[in-house]
Amino acid sequence: MTRDEWKIERQKLIDCAKDVDDAIRDSHRDSGFMSLRSLSFDELIGQYGIDRINQVFAATIRDYDYDGRIRPELKDWARGVEMPPYYDEEQSSRYYVLDKSGAGLTDVAANAFLRVQHEHFPTPVEPEDEPHDFDEEDEDEFEQ
């Protein structure tokens, strides 16, 4: 990645964080205390993509690692998100995190986003075993 590409990608992540933060704030204002009923991720996904929004939530949750308002399973998820090569853990709070939403709303919004992500892009389930061919003995078992 060239330096110019790096700058462009980094700015997209910063813009994404700002727009996600604004969407959460607007939804919270419309929906009331700790509710984000009106929050929709469709436009944000179209503009920034799933991966970039994941990175914003992950950077924010990593930044709130000390905070008990973030669910432990979200903290585990955030640690597993692959961050871009220009991401610096020490600098995350200045650039890539949601700085207006607070830990409680971040928890609610990240959980809602992961539900939307799962609905749009469900994770394929790996088969446990190879397909089983039934023979005559198996048919006898099922008839009993």
In a domain, 102, yes or no: yes
**DSSP code at position 89:** G
- 10-65 pLDDT, tens digit per residue, is 899 999 999 999 888 887 776 665 556 657 888 899 999 999 999 999 999 998 88
What range defines the domain where residue 103 resides? 3-124
In a domain, 68, yes or no: yes
- 108-120 pLDDT, tens digit per residue, is 899 989 988 888 7
Look up the pTM and report it: 0.77
In a domain, 138, yes or no: no
In a domain, 115, yes or no: yes
Rounded distance, CA 91 to CA 23, Å?
23
Please state the domain count of the chain: 1
pLDDT at 48 (0 to 100): 94
Rounded distance, CA 26 to CA 31, Å?
9
Determine whether 104 is exposed, middle or buried from the number of CB atoms within 10 Å of its CB (0-12, 13-18, 19+): middle
Element of type H or E holding 69: none
In a domain, 97, yes or no: yes
